[in-house]
Structure 1
């Protein structure tokens, strides 16, 4: 029998799938494989496990592992109830100012985690305005475990809050109506309906919080002091001691809890999605209650005030002439630090990285998600692409950046020319944040009726025409949201790029680290504040663009 001829459009789609898969293999699979090769490289008589054996014989490195674990667990235990109460106030009360309070709580998303650590130094450091209060609480110094825990709580709070707000927003009002009819108390409804209903969100938030803390690099680098954790150990071994093999071993240890958390989260996610298929929930609308609303408003206002205090301290300190001896306000730090040629170039480089990531990332994510969900063929390749699309969420930035060194710096690699280039920074950043964008686009694509593709296929319309005329207009608002996500994260990221920048391609977030190490905390603060200002300004532009896209999509649907 003659072989069936594959239509040109279908061949084009399959080539697209191959291209996306190849890109993720180069940007993710290759670096991880190179990292494994370094960690298991032959090491004398002990063979491939020599570097692991050496690690287990090092009390200092084992102490770092223990420090990372207990600090991450403590931050999770503190942030989870605080964020849950805040989310409960936003979703289950009629308190005023919800939009403003939620916006304030999300401020840390616009800043590198370094900003929280720097603010703590101004508040409770050796020359801090509230050092006496910190000492009265029983802490000798902000440098160490106490400062690390406090700064991490500030940095991860909005991420935990967003998950819990979503979980509490999915409540079924019918359950509460039935409980009211049975005369159940408020406490009983909370314990038997609210908590079980938010169980997945609580577990997912706990896993995300734990993973973010154990893999964070910026906060421990600034306020960790002599309190070592895995993230700083990787940096010291690779940059300070040039011990790449032991650095790879520690990176794998850093990868393990993140991968386990991701695996558990994925299993829970699948179960929850299955359970929601037959649900016919009625949205819960909170009822006014003067006492409860006042209590929630007071609590949320307190949390928002604490977050504003952290943020505004950094803004204020960036204008102080010489802390704490000359508190007059000036632009000295901005002039000496930002207008300086090298640091000005660092901010410009960050803008270039964020712009390139915001343009390239959504394009790759959208095409990958569309080709997976809306086309046919290459059935054997699709599971691999789905795995590669989901895996970046489980890979910490430090681990990915270290893998890029081993993979792209290898002389035998034909892609060696990309090492320490802007293109490599963009690729690393896109891959690092790929999973969230991919899941967002898949959700949007699944909301589009499959009949569009069926009708197009029956009329022999090429898939790319349907993509351009139907799918893209509908998904445009989501595409803009994904682009905003890439831009903000590219402006604030540090862990994935700290190993990859070159003297000609310094980034603003890395410049903050370098300035802090040099004792130039004023210019470092000014740079962090500028990153927030740029992120906030661009975020406002994205909001306007999103409204335009929503109006355009609505007009398209009405045609």
Structure 2
């Protein structure tokens, strides 16, 4: 299993680093490419833009998500289930969709910038205005939408538990609401806040979809990689920018892991569950806030739906299904959508099996402790690797004719070259890209299972594979379903990990959206986005139904044991 991790993650990254130290002819030039990048004002400006966007996005997204999660977990506000689902809705859409939706709302012919196409000027005197969507402003709005549900999920879990005694002590000392927030609430969720900051910063720093659609002339590192590789065929400089793109993400990853290792249980066995005090004024205020967030999300998705079903925005609003045909546009018909279904299904099936077995060997094996530690590190490392970097590394590794063995200068033919341009490389790239989160899910589930299961099996001479299939897997079925759902949904929406790897025969739906956007076919791009969203929502509903059924069976089993 560890050899597989090295093969699919480490070797391609090494090949990427090697290419960054070479010129276009393959001659070793050391750090010259990095010097060229940082001494070029236009290229260096992209790095500044990327850091600026990531910082602003992280602050806005985490702050907004904290208030939203607080409303769900720490108030008596009505409609919590509805608001929770709406807050998670952006998870099911490709990042490019946010930019497309913003174009229809705030672009030159947008619903809001034209004052509902002149109606507000006619009725209220509200004239149209220029929002200047393309650039920093549009990217930040798109990235906030993209990262908000990730931060919300983390903070919702962090706020779900608290010790009532701390708040009672604060009330006894006469602490104000703000004082309790600063001295009790925020310290108790500091690790969740750190993780939310890390996730939002990394996602916005490395995202490609949103800057591609609404970035305009405002370049960032992700679009620089795309332009260097696709536009200029400068693979060495593309590799250089890819390495630069990875450095801040890895630093943030190391900081997060260091802080998480220091985490101790905030709620011990003597803790008293937190009881939310009643406050109608507070509940109304948070209901208003959550309603505004929900309205904004639904407005975005409504704009996409409207764009997909009308003939010509904003001139002919007659309803049509023509945009879903994709026959005369850059999307190549429905084939990319069916390709995405195949790739996502294989990613979910194969990826779940491989990742769960890897987590099992890492967590339950009692031998080769150092191998398990290395395996664990490699398993969580992909969370710090941008999708563009993984895709670019795969190009260099799998498209190489031969490898040179260090020190002896011996060349061997690349036995994996056949994967390049195939269905298999797309599946492999997706598995590597989303490996870490699925691995952590499996690992968490396995940690909850008593080690005595394996000990008893060994004492009774029961083969480990029987224990694995009859005990471990059944107990882990909820986590396995969660992993499969996660892999499928993200494989349907990802762009960055596969944008360099697809072939004409295996163009994916997310890639078709990129191509349609480049060709100016925005309405069909919106229609393809809507297909992806609908598919992911259906998968999520099926997952919820299966999980509920499994939980009922588990609870029934527990009741028979009592």
Q: Same fold (TM over 0.5)?
A: yes
Q: Name 1:398's counterpart in structure 2.
A: 388
Q: Deviations over 1:76-119 (max 9, x none)?
A: 12112111111111111000000001101111000001111001
Which residue in 2 is equivalent to 1:441? 442
The residue that corresponds to 1:88 in the other structure is: 70
Judge conservation of contact 1:42–1:48 (CA < 8 Å) in 2: no
Q: Which residue of 1 aligns with 2:181?
A: 190
User: Superposed, which structure 2 residues align to 1:100-499 within 5 Å?
Assistant: 100-132=82-114, 140-272=131-263, 274-275=264-265, 280-337=270-327, 342-412=332-402, 413-499=414-500
Q: Structure 1's 133 and 68: CA in aligned 2 closer, same or farther, altered over 3 A?
A: farther
Aligned residue number for residue 536 of structure 2: 535
1:146-165 Cα deviation digits (max 9, x unpaired): 11111111111101111111
How do 1:20-39 and structure 2 match up within 5 A? 20-39=1-20
Instruction: Confirm or deny: 8 A CA contact 1:51 1:249 kept in the other structure.
Output: yes
Question: In the aligned structure 2, how far is the partner of 1:396 from the partner of 1:434?
Answer: 12
For the residues of structure 2 that align with 1:247 and 1:295, how far apart are their CA atoms? 48
Asked if 1:53 corresponds to 2:43, the answer is no
Q: TM-score, normalised by structure 1?
A: 0.93
Deviations 1:421-441 (A, max 9, x none): 111111110111111111111
Describe the SS at the equivalent of 1:131. coil
Q: 1:411 Cα shift?
A: 1.3
Asked whether the 8 Å contact 1:114–1:218 carries over to 2, the reply is: yes
Match of 2:22 among 41, 51, 63: 41
User: Per the alignment, in what secondary structure is the counterpart of residue 504 of structure 2?
Assistant: coil
CA contact (8 A) 1:238 1:247 kept: yes
Once the two structures are overlaid, the 10-residue window that deviates more, 308-317 or 33-42, is: 33-42
Q: CA–CA distance in 2 between the matches of 1:79 and 1:468?
A: 42
CA deviation profile, 1:511-556 (whole Å, cap 9, x unmatched): 0010011011110100000100011011111111112222333344
Q: Distance in 1 between matches of 2:458 and 2:318?
A: 70
List runs of 5+ in structure 1 lacking aligned partners: 1-19
Greater share of residues in helix: 1
Task: Provide closer, same or farther for how the CA distance between residues 138 and 57 of structure 1 changes in structure 2, counting only shifts above 3 A.
Answer: farther
3-state SS in 1 of match to 2:317: strand
The one-character-per-residue Cα deviations of 1:37-95 (angstroms, maximum 9, x if unpaired) are: 10122689993111111112211110100010111111112112111111111111000
| 1:28 Cα offset (Å) | 0.6
What is the Cα deviation at residue 368 of structure 1? 0.8
Tell me the distance in 2 between the aligned counterparts of 1:453 and 1:45: 54
- Choose 358-367 or 124-133, whichever is displaced more: 124-133
Segment drifting more, 501-510 vs 193-202: 193-202
Taking the aligned partners of 1:423 and 1:351, their CA distance within structure 2 comes to 14
2-structure distance, mates of 1:149, 1:138: 20
2:467, 2:262 → 1: CA distance? Answer: 33
Distance 1:245 1:45, change over 3 A: closer
Contact 2:359 2:443 in 1 (8 A): yes
Q: How many residue pairs are counted as aligned between the two chains?
A: 539
CA distance in 2, matches of 1:203, 1:58: 34
Q: CA deviation at 1:285?
A: 2.8
Distance 1:52 1:339 in 2: 39
Any conservation in 2 of the 1:338–1:527 contact (CA below 8 Å)? no
TM-score, structure 2 length as denominator? Answer: 0.92
Gapped regions of structure 2 (runs ≥ 5): 117-125, 403-413
Shift of 1:318: 0.6
Residue 343 (structure 1) shift: 2.8
C-alpha contact 2:332 2:512 (8 A) present in aligned 1: no
Aligned-pair Cα RMSD in Å: 2.1
Quick one: structure 1 residues 211 and 465, their matched pair in 2 at CA, closer, same or farther if it must change by over 3 Å? same
Distance 2:359 2:131 in 1: 52
Does the CA contact (< 8 Å) of 1:343 and 1:508 recur in 2? no
- Contact 1:480–1:546, Cα closer than 8 Å, also in 2: yes
CA apart distance, 1:174: 1.9
| Mapped partners of 1:337, 1:169: distance in 2 | 49
- Hey, what does 2:58 align to over in structure 1? 76
